[in-house]
Structure 1
Amino acid sequence: MMTDIKGFARHRRLRSSASMRSLVRETQLSVDDLIYPMFVIEGEKLKREVPSMPGVFQVSLDLLLNEVTELDELGIKAMMLFGVPKEKDEQGTGAFIETGIVQEATRLIKAEFPAMLILADTCLCEYTSHGHCGVIHRHEVDNDASLDLLAKTAVSQAKAGADIIAPSNMMDGFVTVIRQALDEAGFTNIPIMSYAVKYSSSFYGPFRDAADSTPQFGDRKTYQMDPANRLEAMREAKADVEEGADFLIVKPALSYLDIVREVRNQFDVPVVAYNVSGEYSMVKAAAQNGWINEKELVMEKLLSMKRAGANLIITYFAKDAAKWLNQ
């Protein structure tokens, strides 16, 4: 064996043991980074597993606190609420009425778990009969006509006790009108977590099963972003920051880590990666078939989002990841 080899670096010195690797690890993932999305439905004693999302459930209000108790025990401090109403109409009235499902869920949770951060998804698609994220005029989504309803939704969610407003509709100007509406209603301290960079993605399919929000005609390509575009994402993010956004979401996460990094590099507000339903379901399907090590793959995937620059991660794996991190 040659013992006098010279002229190269000994990188393996810092990989020699688990303790050494932990000591020099550059990126850390913690339970504090995780936000858990939850689907709340009307009715009683309902806990329905979403067929395309194993381990994810639609839960009625009377069983909701059981779910929140689990999150609290795991140390998860934030959850995002999506509502699935029984009744829908052209305007998405259920999104902004005082007795809306998200508003009721928010009041219920805050009464028992005041420290749990509630992020309210602010959109109309779960509540409209046509499944689009705004008002329909001449078979198209009317941007400006939709803004008033989105502002009303945000204010009603804040009144119910939501800690963060998270508008996901991708209408132009939505941050401006929501910020103005919140301020005028006295909610100047409620931050906006904008879905600033939301691509028109095939990774959303399982979510539409969970939220019952599939468009009844057409698609969302006129308001969600083209997956081919990077510079447009920076324009969207810049506009939202200038309009008053306090957080920027990039959605989806895994196929758009380059966008997460660029948003992180260009803006000094917290960046949130949304690990979306299709990304979740692919892993679950592979795990159920025994093709992958689910724990190792999930943790590697979430770590990649942190490494790309995300401060926070919205993920359906939050409970599983919290359990693994707490071991």
Structure 2
Amino acid sequence: MTISTAPERAGPKPVLDGRRAHGESALVHVFVILPMLALVAAVPFAWGWGLSWLDIGLAVGFYLLSGFGVTVGFHRYFTHRSFAANRGLRNGLAIAGSLALQGDVITWVADHRRHHAYSDKEGDPHSPWLFGTTPAALAKGFWHAHTGWLFGKDRTNAARFTPDLLADRDIARISRHFPLWTVVSLLAPALVGGLATMSWWGALTAFFWAGLVRVAVLHHVTWSINSICHMLGERPFASRDKAGNVWPLAILSMGESWHNLHHADPTCARHGVRRGQIDMSARVIWAFEKLGWATEVRWPTASRLARLARADTPSVPAPQ
């Protein structure tokens, strides 16, 4: 998303027009609160009426499209350069990630690079450990890391953290067109649902389930990586922060919740590197590599994993 609360320590902040800042804040509230309300309404709404297999299929399809756009695109490619991508794949990933409604690609990447620069320390835009370790402080920290940071007034300096993306004409253009991708993300499912059923009701239910509810679920899964995965989980690899592995989130997050290895080795294309750690995003990158669209993939190696492992952790072979 577009807004963070931690103080900016790395470079001057851009001066924002007051009306623009107010407008951005209003958009954040709309795109966070409206999907959350839809998610709350989803359970009673689903019981007895208003949900079809078409709605489920569209919701899953758009969840995977926008989710991989974030995990493979915004995160592993644009933020960490875990692989090289040709122009078509690069632009496609930027658009797909924008469909998640988590902010434009440049702002998302700037926030995440800043997160890694100051992980779990002052300057991290969404660490749950910024207020102390008492129960009250951790409750406040959880709220801040999960959702609260989105409503602050400080903004990450994109010129400082993403000069490469600002200089890329294609990506800068896609970033500027984020309002368009928002409309596409919400209305494309409704269009498909309406045409498939030839009814306004089919369009409405698809808009609700594959639009609003899908966005809300993906929002909370992504935010859970910021909050839960920095408070709980196993830590078999040495990192500078408290990033942990939380296996119940592995499927919904497409492998992002294997967060400990990621923070120990941020440029690695695969996060789930131990036996049984499903990482769907890594499999998608593997497919792109086989198609020739992705090259120079930074796959883990046994020797590197051994160097990163904590002293009390058994060595593991690199996954194939």
TM-score by length of 2: 0.27
The structure with the largest alpha-carbon Rg is: 1
Q: Larger % of helix: which?
A: 2
TM-score by length of 1: 0.26
